Structure 1
């Protein structure tokens, strides 16, 4: 809207050239204040990055769910049920159905791109929220009882587009794929770490993944944050028992 006002004022003051300049200045203001979407943005929101609206977030989240479900070439009913139950439990049946209908309409018109969606979210969500997104995607992959290699690779690809560090990715993956060193991977330390290093790592991870840090209105992400925080606590308790740490 602002860009057209700018073009009109520019034309009135400087003719055709002024209209062009006014249009571009107005476009810049549209981007800054969100006029083109009808949603004003605070310049202080999310450390100067514009927040994604709830509706946009839900649709993009569902798009990423679809990508993970199709990653191994098989559409698992358990994984689909996991997503549906999650959306219904979080948003209610009526709203969840509306989200699914909108998603299906969009899906028919254009191809879903992991890079485009993830890059969009990376620019508009805080790092803590993106970590919980990965946690949720791994939950989907595990819903049928097995996290396949193609699913891991696809989530790893998404993590890269979301600008999530390798260590954080490995930490979240360790919560879903069992191995002898899982507890250490979750705390992002080596098995050779000293007891003091273990305690320090736990304090850092507990602070990093505390649900309060997510600071989002999205209930699905809040639940994921709480689950991940419990996994960090469990990992530390496992190492405590193994080493006899008080």
Structure 2
């Protein structure tokens, strides 16, 4: 579309040579994705398609059910975690309706994580998928610990989501504690310089800032806020350990 507008303007200004030049420039813009209401980022959607709120919730709930059933049993605390999350996000009436759907979803014997994730990869930004993974980790940890079978399933889903290893380790460090958690959250080594720590914090703060998570789903937005706070907490912990500001 842009190439024809550019060709018309080129012809209007410079006649035939201008039309050719305009068509070439417009074609380049078309190939780059055209005009945008905001700056392009590496997290731009893979396609121009969007997922409706209803489809998003259904697919998210399906992934929740996969994690809850990953260790071969349905934990009441994990169910309560999901319910409370949607209650605090949507209010009682809508949350109850969503949870009725969830009860039906969790009874299904087979749900394909690969199919769901492929669908979401085409329709959501990378940041949104990171927050979905963060939410799923929260469910797995709701009963006190993330079991090996749950972790294996989370790793599998992360692969289908095309989440990078460092991003996966960063999220995992927020739920499975170790001595070097703060560094893992910022995706750096413990021997990083103070300047490298500051740079890593700035990069992570940009990546996980809630404003970059473009979604109509309030639960995922809240997840982004939680993860952003974890990034800030990790940075402050390192600052205290090193005695720097």
Q: 1:109 to 1:134 in 2, by over 3 A?
A: closer
Counterparts of 1:105 and 1:230, CA distance in 2: 34
| TM-superposed deviation, 1:46 | 4.1
| TM-superposed deviation, 1:110 | 7.2
For the residue of structure 1 that corresponds to 2:56, the secondary structure is helix
The runs of 4+ residues in structure 1 deviating greater than 3 Å are 43-48, 100-110
Aligned to 1:237: 236
Q: 1:106 to 1:245 in 2, by over 3 A?
A: closer
Aligned to 2:190: 191
Q: State the TM-score, normalized to the length of structure 2.
A: 0.78
| TM-superposed deviation, 1:89 | 2.1
Q: 1:103 to 1:146 in 2, by over 3 A?
A: closer
Aligned to 1:95: 94
| TM-superposed deviation, 1:119 | 1.1
Aligned to 1:218: 217
Residues 1-246 of structure 1: pairs in structure 2 closer than 5 A? 46=45, 48-105=47-104, 111-246=110-245
Aligned to 1:37: none
For the residue of structure 1 that corresponds to 2:163, the secondary structure is coil
For the residue of structure 2 that corresponds to 1:235, the secondary structure is helix
Counterparts of 1:64 and 1:106, CA distance in 2: 10
| TM-superposed deviation, 1:107 | 6.2
- C-alpha contact (below 8 Å) 2:86/2:95 kept by paired residues: yes
Counterparts of 2:109 and 2:48, CA distance in 1: 27
Unaligned runs of 5+ in 1: 1-42
Counterparts of 1:108 and 1:144, CA distance in 2: 20
Aligned to 1:33: none
Q: State the TM-score, normalized to the length of structure 1.
A: 0.78
Q: Which has the higher contact order (CA 8 A, sep 6+)?
A: 2
| TM-superposed deviation, 1:101 | 3.4
Unaligned runs of 5+ in 2: 1-34, 37-43
Q: 1:79 to 1:108 in 2, by over 3 A?
A: closer
Counterparts of 1:104 and 1:244, CA distance in 2: 50
Counterparts of 2:159 and 2:169, CA distance in 1: 12
- C-alpha contact (below 8 Å) 2:137/2:172 kept by paired residues: yes
How many residues end up aligned between the 2 structures?
Answer: 204
Counterparts of 1:106 and 1:88, CA distance in 2: 18
